[in-house]
Amino acid sequence: MWARTQWTAMVLLALATACGGDDGETAKAKGAGGASGTGGGGGTGGILMIDGGGNSDGAAGTGGGLSFPIGPDGYPVGFTKTDEGARKLGDPFDGTPPKQSNCGSVLLGVVRDFKDGSKGGHPDFETFTGDGLKGIVEDTLGSDQKPVYASNGPTIYTTGKTEFDQWYRNTDGINKPYLIFFFLVPNGGVYTFESNAFFPLDDAGWGNEGHPHNFHFTTEVHTKFKYNGGETFRFQGDDDLWVFINDKLAIDLGGLHAKQTQQIDLDTAASSLGISPGNVYSLALFHAERHTDESNFRIDTNLEFVDCGTTVPEPR
C-alpha cells in the first residue's frame, strides 16, 4: 500500500496529500527545489492512480483505473514533457466523470477540439485577432459550473452566446472532447506547469487542418483547495483565460491576445471572493486557444489542492 507524505504547499494539478511509496516518490514529487519536501533521488518505482477507467498506460476505459507508472526520470510514463512538468492526452470524454483516488501530482481536465472557422468551422476560432478584452463572461460561474456569456458585455472577439456556450460543453459535430492529464513540478517555492508550445491535440480530433499544429481548442479544469492564508495563483499565456474561485471570477484574461499575465493574491481578494482561512473552496479554470501561431500556457501557485480535479457531467 501507499505511504502518504504531507506537503505544506501544493500546486494546481496536485493533491494536498501526495501519494507514493518510498521507492516511487521522486525528487519531482517530493518537492525538491519547491516550497515543501526534502528532495531526493529520482525513483524508478511507483504508480499514480485514478480509479474508474482504464489501462496501465493511462488510457481511459470502462472499468478498473487509470494508472501512471513513474519512470526513472521522475515523470509519469507516457507523458509528454513540457518546459516545466508534463502532459498526456487521454481518451475521448463522453461526459461521464471518472472516479479518482491516488493520482499524486497528476490532475485531470478536459480539452475540446474545434474546426478552423476560416475554413468553415466554428466562427470563434481563427476568425478574430486582438489584444485581449475583459468582460466577456459574467463575474459568477453558472449553476452548471460553466462560464456565463455576458449578455451586456463586449462581443468584438466572439460571435455570440450560442457559439460561446459550445466552448466548454460537449457538442456533437462542433467539438471533440478528450480527457487530459497534467503533471506539475516544484519551481522555487511554487509549483508550475508551463508549456510554450501547448498543443495537446496535435493530429487528434479534427486534425491540424493544414497548420503545423492544432491551434483551435479549449481547456477546462475543476478542482478544490484548502485556503490557509498567503496563497497566490498566477497564469501566463494566450488566448482567453478565466479562473473562478468559489464561483467568483478571480482572473480575467479574455479575448484573443499574445502572452499575458495576471496574478491573484487570495488574501487581498478574500472579501470579494467570499473566502476565509481554514475552509475548502472550488477552483475552475477555462482556457481557449483560438488563433495561430503561438500557444502558451503557464500556471504558478502555492495553493493546497485537496483533489485530483474532476469533470462536470455533460447532458447525454
pLDDT (tens digit per residue) in 179-224: 999 988 889 988 899 999 999 999 999 999 999 999 999 999 999 9
Question: What pLDDT, on a 0 to 100 scale, did the predictor assign at position 23?
Answer: 31
Beta strands in 196-309 (DSSP E): 217-227, 232-237, 241-245, 248-252, 260-265, 279-289, 297-301, 304-305
In whole angstroms, give the CA distance from residue 218 to residue 158. Answer: 14
In whole angstroms, give the CA distance from residue 218 to residue 167. Answer: 6
Average pLDDT in the chain: 81
Bridging pattern class, strands 217-227 and 304-305: antiparallel
End-to-end CA distance of the chain: 37
Bridging pattern class, strands 297-301 and 232-237: antiparallel
Longest dimension (CA), the chain: 56
In this model, does residue 28 exceed pLDDT 50?
no
Q: How far is CA 191 from CA 13, 34, 184, in A?
A: 9, 7, 6
Cis? peptide before 293, omega within 30° of 0: yes
Question: What pLDDT, on a 0 to 100 scale, did the predictor assign at position 269?
Answer: 98
Q: Rounded mean pLDDT of 4-28? A: 32
Find the range with the poorest average confidence among 1-10, 121-130, 145-154, 269-278.
Answer: 1-10
In this model, does residue 244 exceed pLDDT 80?
yes
CA 75 vs. chain centroid, Å, equals: 18
* pLDDT-derived band at 248, boundaries 50, 70, 90: very high
Find the range with the poorest average confidence among 12-21, 55-64, 103-112, 126-135.
Answer: 12-21
Residue 249 cell numbers, joined:
471570477
- Tell me the pTM: 0.84
In this model, does residue 14 exceed pLDDT 60?
no
